[in-house]
Chain A
Amino acid sequence: MQSWLTVWSHADHILLGFANTLLLFLLASFLAFVTACCLVYLLEGYQNLPRRGLRALLDLLRMSPFLIYVYLLYYGLPEAGIRFDAWTAGIVALVSYHACYFAEILRAARAMLPQGQAESAQAHGYTPFGMYRRILLPQMILRSGPLFGNQLICCLKDTAFLSIVTVFELTAAANDVQSIYFIPMPAFITAIALYWIVSLGIETCLRLLGRLAKTRGLSYE
């Protein structure tokens, strides 16, 4: 009981870490998503060499562990002259890494869109970009519902890896409190509970979005 009170009295430290986790997660997932939309647009059309190269690069990144990629950006790049601080390296890693996964989800959804969609848009005089933005992309997004949910939760969990490169977030904060006051159970249980709550929130949001998709006749079924 005493240990829980200790956690409570240091709630501000844990909440600070939590806030940073949320910030990293929300910012990174938003940017990753936008980047992915652009990436998929770039991949549209004839599969020439640059496009194939881009796809290969995205596939390569998806096959790598996140932490090694962070190491590359944070420890490896300085050798090539690019120096990030830990937080920046973290954000850049999160955004670029998860952009690849989001792009793959969107690409698969794109492949499943009927040919007629693009054709009717072209017949109506849409520019390629306009067609992509207003006709294709909304459908691609609405069709991929639960896959996004899973990926977002992965993004949330990957923020914890950043504690290894000294970024201050929830796991690091919980570890701080427990190591100073010797209360491993309550501190980490609190952290795990917070991760869990956020993931439940993500799933709820996506369910609501899914309902929206259904009213427009566009669910992922």
Chain B
Amino acid sequence: MDSSFWSEILGGAWITLWVSGISIALGIVLGLGMAMLRGARIPLLGQILSLYVSVVRATPLVTLVLFLFVAAPSLGWDIDRRIIAVAAMTINTTAFNAEIWRSAFSTFPRDQIEAAKAAGMTQDLMLRRIILPQLVITSLPGLVNEMSLLVKSSPAIAMVGLVDLTRVSYRIGAVTYEPLPPILAAGAMYLLIIGVLVWLQRMVDRYASRLAM
């Protein structure tokens, strides 16, 4: 296990991190947008979004990534495999986040909305100043949990040839005929990343319950 070993491992970790990072960020925002769209009760849109959430949550990330990877060329699109990976992970995590946000919206206390209405707030102002600040705090534990779930399924992107942390461990092992060290190293790196997310979730849990909302 020399420096080139570790530089490859870290290279794989970097790919895992940035692909997951972008998907997480996009997924949180898109999930919120989806939940708000469903709240707006536009007739057909609500059902379509429901269906999307239901199907995507049941689809393995491996299958989704592979699907996008082979479907794009068949439609004549030439898409970089990194974009495919981010797209697949984003589609996946958006569905879960949409559920988290939707559930937070539906349990938001009506009382506060009435007080806001009575004070002459418009829907827009109410959303910005009263609903969203609290919604973010109550949704945070669920959102952070989903972040660690996403990182745990990120090895799926190896399917499209991206040399993420998992695939790099396989490659090193295939070359050195000593598969165990790289697997253990990759495992340790994943534990580090997910450990940080788990710690973050615990902090967020404590913060949310302290504000007693």
Contact = CB atoms under 8 A, between A and B. Distances in A.
Contacts, number: 123
Nearest to B54: A196
A64 B60 contact: no
Contact of B180 (A79, A198, A200): A79
Interface residues of B, number: 41
A164 B194 contact: no
A157 B59 contact: yes
Nearest to B71: A184
A30 B180 CA distance: 30
B62 A63 contact: no
Given A65-B154, A157-B60, A71 B66 contact: no
A160 B63 contact: yes
A182 interface: yes
Give the interface SS of chain B, mostly helix, strand, loop or mixed: helix
A164 B158 CA distance: 9
Contact of A153 (B55, B58, B166, B187): B58
Given A75-B170, A76-B179, A160-B63, A184 B74 contact: yes
B183 A192 contact: no
A196 B60 CA distance: 10
A87 interface: no
Given A64-B191, A188-B70, A163 B62 contact: yes
B183 A71 contact: yes
Contacts of A33: none
Contact of A63 (B153, B156, B179, B198): B198
A178 interface: yes
Nearest to B187: A68
B195 A63 contact: yes
A175 B66 contact: yes
15 contacts: A64-B152, A67-B166, A68-B155, A68-B166, A71-B170, A72-B183, A80-B180, A157-B59, A160-B62, A170-B63, A175-B70, A185-B71, A188-B63, A192-B58, A192-B67
Which 6 interchain pairs have the tightest Cβ spacing? Answer: A160-B60, A199-B58, A67-B155, A184-B70, A157-B60, A188-B67
